[in-house]
Amino acid sequence: MTKVTAQMSVSLDGFYAGPRFGGEPGDWLESAESAGFFRVTRWVIDAMAWRERQGFAGGEQDTASEIIAETFAAAGAYVMGRRMADGGEIPWGDEPPFRAPVFVVTHRSRDTLVRRGGTSFTYVTDGVASAIEQARSVAGGKNVAIAGGGELLRHVLKAGLLDELELHIVPVVLGTGMRLLDADLDLADKEAIELTPIRVIHTSQATHIRYAVNGRAALLLDDRGSGSGTP
């Protein structure tokens, strides 16, 4: 059955990149935004670099490689934010790594862009729920993966459309930056989003926790602990 999934690398304090860069695109690589982004995704780059170099399996690096391979393999289609799609258009080149249809949530209509290797970019202007439905219809029973960025992922979580969230929790505190789970989730007073961890894989570079998203629930008063230690 098709699930709507998302995964993101985050620092221990919840950032997926440094503070948003407002300068010229050509200067992004030198920005604090990119410094944070490359720190939290270092485990991915290390795994890819290692795989190419060694050509054989084993150990932690291979665990990371397997998580990455599995993530790509599980997705039958992608939903992506406009900023990420624009930013990737040139570096991803003629044969982007998705090898599946990608639905880009945008305000500007544009013809579908077909790339080699099975990747296409379809620009959806009637909202994220529509993009997810279009992705579902071509996913062939595989998952619809929310490819990011963080703002889109948060929007999908907030709208109750996300079935699974995998966080790659990286052992670094960035202190500031773009936070995945920030305050605009529209939770009411004493309301929370409950999840169930369904898989944990750990290496020295990241703790990978996959959660099923149960949805919104009221925080019921549970004060059994308020008197602990009282004789």
Residue 86 is a binding residue for its own copies (CB under 8 A): no
Q: Looking at beta carbons only, is 1 or 183 nearer to its own copies?
A: 183
User: Shortest Cβ distance from residue 24 to its own copies (Å)?
Assistant: 16
Q: For its own copies, how many residues bind (rule: CB under 8 A)?
A: 70
Contact residues for 76 (Cβ-Cβ < 8 A; gap 6+): 2, 100, 135, 138, 139, 140, 141, 142, 143, 144
How far apart CA 158 and CA 162 sit, in angstroms, is: 8
- CA 54 → CA 48, 58, 94, 147, 218, distances in Å? 10, 10, 27, 28, 50
> Which range, of 30-38, 56-64, 124-132, 134-142, touches its own copies by CB under 8 A?
30-38
Minimum CB separation from its own copies for residue 109, in Å? 25
Q: Kindly tell me which of 73 and 200 has the beta carbon lying closer to its own copies.
A: 200
Q: At what angle do helices 42-54 and 59-74 cross, to 10 degrees?
A: 110
3-class DSSP assignment, residue 3: coil
Residue 209 touching its own copies (CB under 8 A):
yes
**What token pair was written down for 88?**
């990737």
Among residues 6, 39, 144, 153, the one that binds its own copies under rule CB under 8 A: 39
Whichever of 32 and 130 has its CB closer to its own copies, that residue is 32
Element (H, E) at 5: strand 4-11
Q: 3 or 216: whose CB is closer to its own copies?
A: 216
**DSSP output for 102-160:** EEEE-SS----EE-GGG-EEEEE-S-HHHHHHHHHHHSTTSEEEEEE-HHHHHHHHHTT
> Binding mask 127-166 vs its own copies (x if CB under 8 A, - otherwise)?
------------------------------x---------
What tokens were used for 209?
A: 């926790």
Write out the residues near its own copies by the rule CB under 8 A: 11-14, 18, 29-30, 32, 34-36, 38-39, 41-42, 44-45, 48-49, 88, 91-97, 157, 167, 169, 171-176, 181-183, 185-187, 189-197, 200, 202, 204, 207, 209, 211, 219-231
